[in-house]
Structure 1
Amino acid sequence: MDQLQRMQLIEHQSRAFLEGVIENINDQWVFFDEESDVATMLEHYVDQEIEIYLHHKWIKGILEEDGRFTHKTETIFLLDKMKLRIRKQIVFSLDMLLDELEDEAFLQFINTLNTLEFSIYDCIFSHNHLSFLETTANKKGVNILIFDNGEIVLSVHHHFHYENEKKDRFEFTLSTGKRLIIDKMCK
């Protein structure tokens, strides 16, 4: 699995976007998240890639200052009540962990998470102990991850033992009491 395939799998996760509408209030653009009704100043996303809903499709572009949106070589001016999507950020330590996992462990982790109706974008806490062992030859420990999909909370303990071979064990525990354990060993 190459880096592009990993990125595509990550990009197509559910709940990857904040979605809502914008309003111009007192000459300032405000984004209203439709899921949480939280209002955010749109200026926080200037120079970032966002998507606008125009002509019945989502269009990617860069948000500019003063309510401008650049799509390829075209500049579009934002309008009141326009629908926007802003890609959520993956928790930094989880992003680092995903990069460190071997392909098989990465796929098993993502697929199990998705099967349990969670997305990597549902992560609300991540402690990546592996990142603290960068200079250590033999690595052993536990990473702790907490996910919340809005209905259920999930705790994941990732036990790793990296010596001659890499051993990954994922223990998934839902707030309902359901548990799953996955062991992966790679040479």
Structure 2
Amino acid sequence: MSQTQRSKLLEYQIRAFTEGSIEYINNQWVFFDSETEEASLLEEYLHQEIELFRLNRWRKGILFEEGKVCLPNETLFLEDQDLIRIRKHLVYSLEKILEDINDDAFFQFVTTLNSLHFSIYDCIYCYNHLSFLENERGKNGVNFMVFDNQEQICNVQHHFCYLEKTSDRFEFTLNSGKRVVIEKLIS
């Protein structure tokens, strides 16, 4: 699995965006989150990628001052009541785990999480023990992750052992009591 394939799998996760509308109020662009109905200044997202809904499709670009959105081949300007979506950021410690595990473990973890109706963007807590072992020759331990999709909670324990053999075991436990265990062994 290439870095491009990993990126594509992450890009198409459900709940990867905060969606809402914008209004121009008191000479400032204000973003209204459609899920929480909270308002925030759009300037918090300057120089970040946003998607703007125009001509019945989402158009990806970078947000700049004064409501300018630079797309690959054109520049658009925001209009009152435009629909936009802003990609959520991953919890940093989860992002590091995803970077550090091998391709097979990455794929198995993300697809199993998705099959349980969770997205990696549903992560509300992540303890990355692997990051504390960065300078160790052999690595062995457990990472802990908690996901909340607004309907259920999923706790994931990632047992890893990177010695002569590589082992990644993920134990998924939902608040309903359902459990799923997957293990990837590489000699």
- SS in structure 1 at match of 2:13: coil
The RMSD of aligned alpha carbons is 0.9
Amino acid aligned to 2:109: F
Alignment partner of 1:15: what SS?
A: coil
Secondary structure at 2:110 match in 1: helix
The whole-number CA distance in structure 1 between the counterparts of 2:59 and 2:151 is 30
Q: Percent identity?
A: 53
Equivalent position SS for 1:114: helix
Alignment of 1:17-36 (within 5 A): 17-36=17-36
TM-score computed with the length of structure 2 as normaliser: 0.97
What is aligned with 1:16?
16
- CA distance in 1: counterparts of 2:72 and 2:185, whole angstroms: 45
Deviation at 1:151, TM superposition (A): 0.6
1:60 aligns with 2:60: yes
Letter in 1 for 2:25: I
- Tell me what 1:151 maps to: 151
Deviation string for 1:5-54 (max 9, x for gaps)?
11111101111111110011111111111111121110011111111001
Shift of 1:73: 4.4
Within the alignment, does 1:170 sit opposite 2:163 as a pair? no
- Provide the C-alpha distance between the structure 1 equivalents of 2:130 and 2:148, rounded to a whole number of angstroms: 23
CA distance in 2 between counterparts of 1:70 and 1:10 reads 23
CA distance in 2, matches of 1:75, 1:160: 47
For residues 136-163 of structure 1, give each alpha carbon's deviation from its aligned partner in whole angstroms, at most 9, with x where no partner exists. 0111111000000111011001011110
**How many residues were matched structurally?**
187
Matched with 1:183 is 183
State the distance in 2 between where 1:123 and 1:134 align: 23
Counterpart CA distance in 2 for 1:128 and 1:185 is: 20
Deviation, 1:169, is 1.1
**TM-score (norm: length of structure 1):** 0.97
Quick one: which amino acid aligns to residue 27 of structure 2?
A: D
- Name structure 1 gaps, 5 residues minimum: none
- What is the CA distance between 1:75 and its match in structure 2? 2.4
